[in-house]
Amino acid sequence: MTAVAERLSAIDAAIADAARRAGRDPAGITRIVVTKFHPAALVSELYGLGVREVGENRQQELTAKAEALAELDDLRWHFIGQAQTNKAGAIRRAAQAVHSVDRLRIAEALDRAATDDALLDVLLQINLTDDPGRGGVAPAELERLAEQVLALPTLRLRGVMAVAPLDEDPAAAFARVHESAQRLRAVAPGADWISAGMT
């Protein structure tokens, strides 16, 4: 077993253990392997190990890897970085999911960038801090943004995303993410994804 295979196996075991402790079925959790700053060859190796969901946080890297690995047609690319309106077209061409929609302008740009009738999965990024300079919609604005995104025909609202701040207990931060996810489901019942990570 290669070092990459060993690490992937250990991560999968940790995810399954955490799911069981939470009373959840591990099969209901999607592992997204973030490969930022790693070459496309690593993504290809991961694909050989069964990985089908890959995340990138920079548009240029997402585009380059998606193009280099285009023959792996069941590989799903997730854009997890801060989306910019001027890069919406490139993001839309490369990704099947965008985790960082935090304002209407980004959502509209992603919708306008559609070249066919394929739906783009999107998550609303929530700002868990009081810093307006950080990415994410303010929790008080979540439902309003959700209603606006639901009106865009080529976007499929899937859930919420948040990054726990470094200076806060992750459990407290993720409890707020869970509460936001419940509020979102009141507006969009099918939006049941939660994408949560650490800074």
pLDDT value at position 38?
A: 96
Question: What mean pLDDT do residues 135-145 have?
Answer: 95
Enumerate domains of the chain plus CATH numbers.
31-198 (3.20.20.10)
Residues 172 and 137 sit within 8 Å (Cβ to Cβ): no
Percent of the chain exceeding pLDDT 90 equals 86
Strand ranges, E, within the chain = 33-34, 53-56, 76-79, 97-101, 120-125, 155-164, 193-198
Percent of the chain exceeding pLDDT 70 equals 99
What does the pLDDT look like over 58-90, one tens digit per residue?
999 999 999 999 999 899 999 999 999 999 999
What does the pLDDT look like over 26-54, one tens digit per residue?
999 999 999 999 999 999 999 999 999 99
User: Hey, what are 139's tokens?
Assistant: 């929790």
Question: What mean pLDDT do residues 168-191 have?
Answer: 94
Is the pLDDT at 106 greater than 80? The verdict is yes
Read off the pLDDT band of 133 (50, 70, 90).
confident
The answer for residues whose C-beta is within 8 angstroms of residue 185's C-beta and 6 or more apart is: 191, 192
Read off the pLDDT band of 199 (50, 70, 90).
low
Query: pTM of the full predicted structure?
Result: 0.94
Chain CA centroid to CA 99, Å: 3
